[in-house]
């Protein structure tokens, strides 16, 4: 309805309540709501399969995670080369951890590229704050595609991983991302069942683990773009975010 380019503001029609404001504190309601929305989202993604160039013409980037080892090396090299007083800068030890993960990332990239699940749209920030609740016969409506990319569809769930782990206080080891919690499994399986014509649910879970590990590269890339012309205050506040995401490529994801 209206745009203010200098401030990056856009005024749109009221979409109603977002899911974040309506989720109850009852575990069953939360699981049912999240499971329902990811199933809707998977069906939306499947409609984008084969639409690469149409989406590219609308400004959707190719995902960094499509070639994960190359992207990880490039991001780490950039961060370690920044001035010592830059909050985004990583240490030589952190840089070495990324380099040590490159062979595994290279193998993961090959597995995903050769797998049965085709590339599709990844909204890039799928969490309950970017989802309008169903109204009448309409399903969930997804918005905020500023960080959308074209890549492996299962990587879309990376923000939901953060949401579930935080919301349900799922304990995490230091050397992996462990999503084998029954509640998370129920939500993820609701999403993966929309793809079972392509592979078994067991194979899809394995592929999801690989896709989620590499999807953190897309999040790191988004933060690097957003902080490219950041003020000193913004850097002080958000400067650690690129590494917070890049670090996850060093950890296997267990589903």
Residue 153 inside a domain? The answer is yes
User: Is 6 inside any structural domain?
Assistant: no
Residue 7 lies in a domain: no
Is residue 128 assigned to a domain? yes
Predicted confidence (pLDDT) per residue in 56-67, tens digit: 999 999 998 889
- Which pLDDT score, from 0 to 100, does residue 23 have? 63
Nearest residue to 90 via CA among 252, 246, 255: 246
Q: What is the per-residue burial (b if ≥16 Cβ within 10 Å, else e) of 99-129?
A: eebbebbeebbeebeebebebbbbbbbbbbe
Among candidates 134, 173, 153, 169, which has minimal Cα distance to 32? 134
- Residues 119 and 74: their CA atoms lie apart, in Å, by 22
72 domain residue, yes or no: yes
Cα 19 from Cα 167, distance rounded (Å): 14
pLDDT in tens, the chain (255 residues): 688 877 777 787 777 777 777 765 544 558 888 898 899 999 999 999 999 999 999 999 999 888 999 999 999 999 999 999 999 999 999 999 999 999 999 999 999 999 999 999 999 888 888 888 777 777 788 888 888 999 999 999 999 888 889 888 999 999 999 999 999 999 999 999 999 999 999 999 999 999 999 999 999 999 999 999 899 999 999 999 999 999 999 999 999
Task: Tell me what pLDDT residue 26 has.
Answer: 45
In a domain, 62, yes or no: yes
Longest dimension (CA), the chain: 55
The CATH number of whichever domain residue 33 belongs to comes to 3.90.1200.10
What sign results for the dihedral spanned by CA atoms 81, 83, 87, 92?
A: positive
- How many CB atoms neighbour CB 23 within 10 A? 16
Tokens of 178: 């462990």
Full-prediction pTM beyond 0.85?
A: yes
In a domain, 3, yes or no: no
Q: pLDDT value at position 28?
A: 53
Is residue 88 within 8 A of residue 12, CB to CB? The reply is: no
Domain that holds residue 37: 13-254
103 within domain boundaries: yes
Q: What backbone torsions phi and psi does residue 12 show, to the nearest 5 degrees? A: -125, 170
Q: Kindly list the distances between the CA atom of residue 103 and the CA atoms of 70, 80, 191, 250, in Å, as whole numbers in the listed order.
A: 10, 20, 29, 11
| Structural domain count, the chain | 1
Question: Among candidates 158, 156, 157, 159, which has minimal Cα distance to 148?
Answer: 156
């Amino acid at each position: 309805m209206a745009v203010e380019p200098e401030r990056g503001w856009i005024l749109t029609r009221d979409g109603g309540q977002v899911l974040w404001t309506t989720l109850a504190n009852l575990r069953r309601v939360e699981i049912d709501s999240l499971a329902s929305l990811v199933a809707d989202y998977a069906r939306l993604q499947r409609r984008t399969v084969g639409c690469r160039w149409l989406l590219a013409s609308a400004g959707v980037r190719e995902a960094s995670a499509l070639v994960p080892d190359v992207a990880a090396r490039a991001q780490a090299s950039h961060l370690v080369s920044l001035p010592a007083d830059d909050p985004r800068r990583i240490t030589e030890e952190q840089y070495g951890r990324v380099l040590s993960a490159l062979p595994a990332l290279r193998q993961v990239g090959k597995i995903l590229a050769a797998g049965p699940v085709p590339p599709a749209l990844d909204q890039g920030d799928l969490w309950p704050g970017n989802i309008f609740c169903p109204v009448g016969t309409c399903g969930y409506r997804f918005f905020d595609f500023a960080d959308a990319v074209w890549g492996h569809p299962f990587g879309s769930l990376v923000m939901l991983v953060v949401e579930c782990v935080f919301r349900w206080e799922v304990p995490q080891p230091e050397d992996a991302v462990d999503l084998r919690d029954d509640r998370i499994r129920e939500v993820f399986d609701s999403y993966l069942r929309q793809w079972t014509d392509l592979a078994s649910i067991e194979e899809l879970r394995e592929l999801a683990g690989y896709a989620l590990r590499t999807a953190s590269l897309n999040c790191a890339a988004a933060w690097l773009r957003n902080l490219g012309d950041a003020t000193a205050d913004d850097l002080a506040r958000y400067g650690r975010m690129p590494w917070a995401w890049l670090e996850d490529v060093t950890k296997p994801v267990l589903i």
